[in-house]
Amino acid sequence: MNHDRRDIRARSSRIRGLASQARRTLRAILRWRDKRFARQIAASRRRPRAAMRPSRALQRFERLLATALPAREIPTAKILIGDQVGVRAVRLSREMRQLRPFSTPIADSAYRYCADEPQWGEQYVSWARQVAGVRHWFGLGPEASDAQLLPGDSNQGLVGRSAKDSPILVRRVVGSDHFQAVDGHHRVGEASVGGAPTVSAACLPGRVRTPMQRYLRAMNWIDGDDAMYQPLPVPELGHWTVVRQCSDRASMMQRELKNCGQVATYLDVACSYGWFLAWAESFDLAATGIEVDPLAPVLAREAFGLDPKQIVVGDALSVLEKADSTWDVVSCFSLLHHFASENPALAQRLAASLGRVTERVLFLDTGSSLESWFSTNQALEEDAQVELVMEGGGFSRCERLGRDQDSQGRTDGNYGRMLVAFYP
């Protein structure tokens, strides 16, 4: 009996081990897929592909499947732009080198175009030409006239266009309460113009990630998690974890800048995808960032409307040491401790470089031994790192402004880092 129990426990342990390995393998495959997609988006723009006909077989199958599915009421404001002219949203996003259109609610898009709201017409034509530039717009190329591209009864029979009485098709978005449209964008747009809070739609089986979700999961720091290192104004990410709130440090910086006189330029070292650059631009500062992740500039453009050239991609220390400019305001968040814990000499060089490029004030926070994941690392004692920056950067004084509010949820016991202002 005991032998049988041991045998059962051993088999159960092997099964659990195999299941765990299978999960790790699947995670690695999905991570590779997202990385590949992100690299293709971030690559330089290629020549448009020749216009292709939609997959009529796929469209027919989905519409046939929809007839077997019960219709349900879907909130109009929760339906995002998705598949176009029979082409999956993720494929079209890759070909267009764009993310943001597919994170836009149809109710806030050019699909609102109708005779009563003609101001959307220009945006609608622009979107139609973008799609036609890589595929086609219901059989029309980018050379088509505005009148041909605009929706109307005269073009209901165009290639791939479904009838007005066809069911609206959607899919659920992974980790979100939003949906991605598969077919029926114009009908959702018309419903939103009419003020309808919901539309009747067939929800196809399975869930899908939006192009923005897949790109974000490929970022270096995120490492395949459903998390944002900085907040992003993207509707389908509302339930994702935000690791660094950013607004708490921005508020402290804004208060301190009132004592710094006139400032015009801003540099964020290790800027990720540019939340602080967008914040600085809201105060009319000329903002520049340095970031090691090559995917950051495109996400900064898609999320915040920044020029990708505002972010210099490269190792922060190397870029700083080669810089021949200075900035009125410099920030460096959560970077110093990586150098201080591994190579103090590099930490000294980073402090010296930050001091050299700072004209008015440097805002800096850093990981310390007060956090649970660094608690045994004496090299990260908070006061010692402040002293390192003071001496290495040649600053005359510093002010401790307060701690961030990021020590909560999945990061409880970590972060809560002191923001310090250093003055030359």
The DSSP annotation for 152-189 comes to -GGGTTSTTPPPTTSPEEEEEETTSS-EEEEE-HHHHH
Q: Are 235 and 201 in contact (CB under 8 A)?
A: no
Q: Are 361 and 393 in contact (CB under 8 A)?
A: no
Joined together, the tokens standing for residue 364 give: 């800096």
Residue with tokens 């199958």: 61
C-alpha 331 chain-centroid distance: 21
Q: What angle do CA 385, 388, 392 make, to 5 degrees?
A: 150
Each residue's pLDDT tens digit in the chain (424 positions)? 555 556 666 666 666 666 666 666 666 666 666 667 677 677 755 545 544 444 555 666 666 666 667 889 999 999 999 999 888 999 999 999 999 999 999 999 999 886 567 778 889 999 999 999 888 888 888 888 888 888 765 554 455 577 777 889 999 999 999 999 999 999 999 899 889 999 999 998 889 999 999 999 888 676 667 889 999 999 999 889 899 999 999 999 999 999 898 999 999 999 999 999 999 999 999 999 999 999 999 999 999 999 999 999 999 999 999 999 999 999 999 999 999 888 889 999 999 999 999 999 999 999 888 888 888 887 789 999 999 999 999 999 999 999 999 988 878 888 999 999 999 9
Joined together, the tokens standing for residue 32 give: 């590779």
Q: How far apart are CA 339 and CA 336, in angstroms?
A: 5
The DSSP annotation for 19-85 comes to HHHHHHHHHHHHHHHHHHHHHHHHSPPPPPPPP----HHHHHHHHHHHHTSPPEEEEGGGEEP--BT
Q: What is the enclosing helix (H) or strand (E) of 59?
A: helix 56-67
User: Model-level pTM?
Assistant: 0.85
pLDDT for the residue numbered 50:
46
pLDDT for the residue numbered 160:
57
Domain-by-domain residue ranges, the chain? 1-43, 56-216, 244-423
| CATH 3.40.50.150 corresponds to the domain 244-423 | yes
Q: What angle do CA 310, 314, 318 make, to 5 degrees?
A: 115
Q: How far apart are CA 102 and CA 202, in angstroms?
A: 20
Nearest Cα to 186, choosing from 134, 237, 139, 120?
Answer: 120
Our CA dihedral for 387, 391, 393, 396, rounded to 10 degrees, sits at: 90
